[in-house]
């Protein structure tokens, strides 16, 4: 767990494929402390993974395996029917592939963050969460999993002894139960840098978030997720980092916290 006074910033990186690119990886590498790196199933071919891993390793940024359902065309945002055996094999395959590239770059995969539909479905489906947790445990039983606090993912990870870290979204509205408001609803995504930065500081330093009903909800957060794939998102991430530093927080990977 991060100590008081430190905070981690994580973001999705290496989400190109073949000739295509997504997001501003170079700018983000100067902002974040943890990199969720695509493993080839929703994005990221081996050459892109290799470059991204090297860039992260050179900057001492933590390398996270951003594992996904096999769905390149849908960018891992769609549900894909997988048996327990298939999903388990998919997770191990991606985890090992990225870890080998990390080892070759003098580093290791430091954590696992599920991507897209898998992330969202695990968060509410203990059986699905168990399949992923069990797969990770069977590879390296000290490899932390990253997801939302209060998710089925957290519950299952903690019950098995797999380290768990929780992430918050400073640019997303939370409802009274501490769940994210669905993207399609008005007000779900915040874009004002001042507001997002102020929420980030409150989450990182105070461990609270203001919910849509105006209450101040207690929320333990080890890392804040920032984005780089929409216009203005890099500037927003930069503003968030600046505000956190000005508030006296030390930027540091949750792994080393």
| Residue from 101, 122, 129, 204 in contact with a second copy (CB under 8 A) | 101
Question: Does residue 88 touch a second copy according to CB under 8 A?
Answer: yes
Provide the CB-side half-sphere exposure for 16 (13 A, CA): 17
Lookup: tokens for 97 = 């592939």
- How many chain residues are in contact with a second copy, going by CB under 8 A? 45
**Smallest gap from residue 84 Cβ to a second copy (A):** 10
Comparing CB distances to a second copy, the nearer of 104 and 185 is 104
Question: Does residue 143 touch a second copy according to CB under 8 A?
Answer: no
Provide the CA 137 distance to its chain's centre, in angstroms.
19
Comparing CB distances to a second copy, the nearer of 93 and 238 is 93
x/- contact string, 34-53, with a second copy (CB under 8 A)? Answer: ------x--x-xxx-xxx--
Question: Does residue 205 touch a second copy according to CB under 8 A?
Answer: no
| Residue from 4, 60, 103, 185 in contact with a second copy (CB under 8 A) | 103
Comparing CB distances to a second copy, the nearer of 86 and 155 is 86
Question: Does residue 99 touch a second copy according to CB under 8 A?
Answer: yes
CA dist 9 and 225 (Å) reads 6
Tokens 């769609």, located at residue:
78
Residue pair 121/98 in contact (Cβ under 8 Å)? The answer is no
CA dist 224 and 10 (Å) reads 6
Residue pair 70/80 in contact (Cβ under 8 Å)? The answer is yes
Residue 182 phi, psi dihedral angles, 5° rounding: -55, 140
CA dist 75 and 182 (Å) reads 19
Residues that bind a second copy (CB under 8 A): 16-22, 40, 43, 45-47, 49-51, 70, 72-75, 78-81, 83, 85-86, 88-90, 92-101, 103-104, 135, 138-139
């Amino acid at each position: 767990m991060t100590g008081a006074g430190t905070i981690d910033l994580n973001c999705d990186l290496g989400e190109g494929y073949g000739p295509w690119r997504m997001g501003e990886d170079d700018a983000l590498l100067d902002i974040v402390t943890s990199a969720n790196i695509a493993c080839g199933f929703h994005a990221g071919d081996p050459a892109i993974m290799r470059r991204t891993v090297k860039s992260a390793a050179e900057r001492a940024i933590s390398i996270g395996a951003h594992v996904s359902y096999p769905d390149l065309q849908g960018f891992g945002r769609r549900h894909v029917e997988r048996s327990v055996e298939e999903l388990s094999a998919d997770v191990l395959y991606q985890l090992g592939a990225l870890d080998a590239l990390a080892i070759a770059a003098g580093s290791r995969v430091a954590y696992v963050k599920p991507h897209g539909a898998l992330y969202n479905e695990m968060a509410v489906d203990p059986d699905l969460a168990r399949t992923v947790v069990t797969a990770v445990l069977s590879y390296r039983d000290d490899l932390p999993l990253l997801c939302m606090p209060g998710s089925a993912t957290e519950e299952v990870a903690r019950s098995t002894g797999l380290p768990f870290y929780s992430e918050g979204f400073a640019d997303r509205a939370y409802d009274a139960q501490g769940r994210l408001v669905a993207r399609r609803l008005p007000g779900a995504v915040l874009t004002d840098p001042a507001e997002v930065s102020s929420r980030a500081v409150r989450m990182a330093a105070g461990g609270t978030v203001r919910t849509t009903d105006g209450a101040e909800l207690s929320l333990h957060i080890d890392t804040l997720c920032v984005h780089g794939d929409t216009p203005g998102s890099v500037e927003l991430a930069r503003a968030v980092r600046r505000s956190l530093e000005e508030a006296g927080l030390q930027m540091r990977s949750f792994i080393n916290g």
